[in-house]
Amino acid sequence: MTENAWTRWPSPEALGRAGISQPRRLLSRAVRLLVTATLLWGAVSSSRVPLWGAVAAAVGVLVAAAAAWAYFRTTLAHRLWPSLGLIAVLLGIAVAAQTTGFTVPALVIFCGCAVCALERMPLAAATSVTAVALTAYSVVNDDKWLTTVVTSVGLALAGYVLRLDAEARGNAQRLLTQERAALAAEAESAALAERARIAREIHDVLAHSLSAQLVHLEAARLLLERGAEREQILERVVAARGMARDGLAETRQALSALRGDLTPLEDFLSELVGVNDGAEVTISGERRPLPAEASQAVRRVAQEALTNVRKHAPGAKVRVRLDYGEHQVMLDVRDSGGRPGELAGAGGGYGLLGMRERAELLGGSLEAGPHEEGFAVTLKVPV
């Protein structure tokens, strides 16, 4: 439900001091000091008032200053009746000042109440208070009626302009607060995304490497139990050691990726293909640096695809093609087929499911399946 504009308070941000520049604060303090000094001077400078009267007038000025300070606090807390009570106290002090001959302090208080009511209270209450204060000002003021009317209208407009200015400043403060909250939420989301990326990197490297080592070590254990020859057992241990060495290299590479120290993708694929007999790499399109996530996805898929070739079709010829498109990068790994390897039945730690999940997280796709000669893996990642 929309709040009625006549009963709505200015926001706490509008009534508070947040967002006020230092020069403006200094100007506001100077105006308050000037008003207080004017009231005190008007109270003690009259030669027709005895000493005790001047002292009483000075006390009245101090009471008015305290009531004005309390009024600023109650309006900041949106407390209507205490605010109206304090305004009534100030108007009463002004009437008392007028009846005892202190016309200047009375006029200042009447004008101040009119302006501050429009600036800091709901319009329904503020217009009533302003009307009473300006009517009293018009009665007390001995200027020409036209001057009095113009001054009264100017005071009302000044109060309303100050209200609009305060509300604009309050809206700016609320927007700034919301922007800061959005930035904090964005930073938290980015931190969570980075944690998820690190977790994926650790999982992809360690799960893939350790699972392959477990396969070889389990085979070595079975061979020991069956009393196999030393060469067969040693072969499995050496294979497990090789897997551990590869896993360590991949871990270092993952840490480099997390630090942003990635080697160029083309060099990485060339090195990866270089350790696979019968493999060749082709790169097309305009070469350019890729985002870290996209680059890591291409590297991981290439590693897994070549590992699967060694596992399921050793000796097969492999063609790796990297294509830089305008809006995406494509990696295509195809083998010519071959005899099933000894590890063909071993479970894949990362596997096609992990590769597909990585691609989908980046808004891309992965297709894997048999083709005319052997097996093909095609990754597409938007960049």
Calpha distance 116→98 (Å, rounded): 20
* Predicted local confidence at residue 351, as pLDDT: 64
pLDDT averaged over 10-residue windows placed end to end, the chain, 383 residues:
74 78 73 69 58 71 87 91 93 87 82 90 92 89 84 89 88 87 86 74 70 80 84 83 75 66 77 70 87 83 82 81 91 77 43 77 88 86 88
CATH 3.40.50.2300 for domain 265-383, yes or no, is no
Structural domain spans, the chain: 12-142, 265-383
| DSSP classification of residue 263 | P
Buried b vs exposed e over 287-309: b needs ≥16 C-beta within 10 Å?
eeebeebbbbbbbbbbbbbbbbb
* Predicted local confidence at residue 54, as pLDDT: 66
The 10s digit of each residue's pLDDT in 14-54 is 888 776 777 767 777 777 677 667 666 655 565 455 666 66
Beta strand 318-324 pairing with 279-285: parallel
| DSSP classification of residue 206 | I
* Predicted local confidence at residue 378, as pLDDT: 92
* Predicted local confidence at residue 83, as pLDDT: 92
Q: Report the amino acid identity of residue 9.
A: W
Please say whether the beta carbons of 330 and 367 come within 8 A: no
* Predicted local confidence at residue 43, as pLDDT: 55
| DSSP classification of residue 286 | -
Q: Give the contacts of 62 (CB within 8 A, at least 6 positions apart).
A: none
